[in-house]
Structure 1
């Protein structure tokens, strides 16, 4: 299919021709799915995202001024919706079942259980010593698993402010934990770097 044919299909779809839009979906579904998969890294979620992109595209198609820009316009929609989905999803605390099945089961020894209990206790003490806003921000993200957008809505601040508060609160908690247990402080700092905020 040539770009001229695509332009004609876009013009027809803009007037409400569903068959023309169906042809566009058929033509672009592979590339939209590939881009979605590259961003969300989950085949089922990428498939769902691709469907959402085409539904959104169908509703917004009359706003597209230049039909020749359809491919780029669709790419921008895919990128934006992928970012929105990842931001809403929040931190991931799980793994694919296939990965978990491949990991050999191992019971914790009594010493390990004790060490984990001690670390949790020290972390609670550290959190209690923080200012209320720092504590609430860390608990929302790490304990309640809220996404950055959810926290921003909850605290009625921009997402960038939430990122800054998480960064500052983690640094303050690290200082508090260093006074309690330097090893725990290093572990917490490493966890924060892995979270990427």
Structure 2
């Protein structure tokens, strides 16, 4: 039986055949991921294109930072909460003015500080022009000695409550409420996903509430 030699050129696939059989790969973009896994700058760009869900995720990530900054400036929880809502509405209205999406956190913080200062100025003018509050103003601008003492006592009790918490709970609450870090910043600091940070905050708040008991019900 005679062997028939096959030319090498006939054994090799053509360039066209190679191209047809080469697997193709699709690049995964932010749009392929849930919003909770998007980078902040991608969320900002989407929100600038009127994606309300993207802006909602930005609120989830940065609302704590806004409240912490407002509270440090105003010293009043109710006012800080009210101002936080005003800040977020302002940010939504002016988001198109932000040219560098990566700077969203710093931009939002600057809005918060500016609006808190404006509120402080308005509050001081209101107090200064109310004759009935002149005596209280001379003592403490906003609070009577009893109110100031109660506030100081509560602050001390909160500090004591924090001291009784475990290290992770305490540092988590301090990062969020004292240093005003956003969830994204905390994720970097603690080397943990944003979802994990949210759970830690929830647990830490409950444990602190248990330590404080009925303190804030007074």
The TM-score normalised by the length of structure 1 is 0.50
The TM-score normalised by the length of structure 2 is 0.45
State the structure with bigger RCO (CA 8 A, min sep 6), 1 or 2.
2
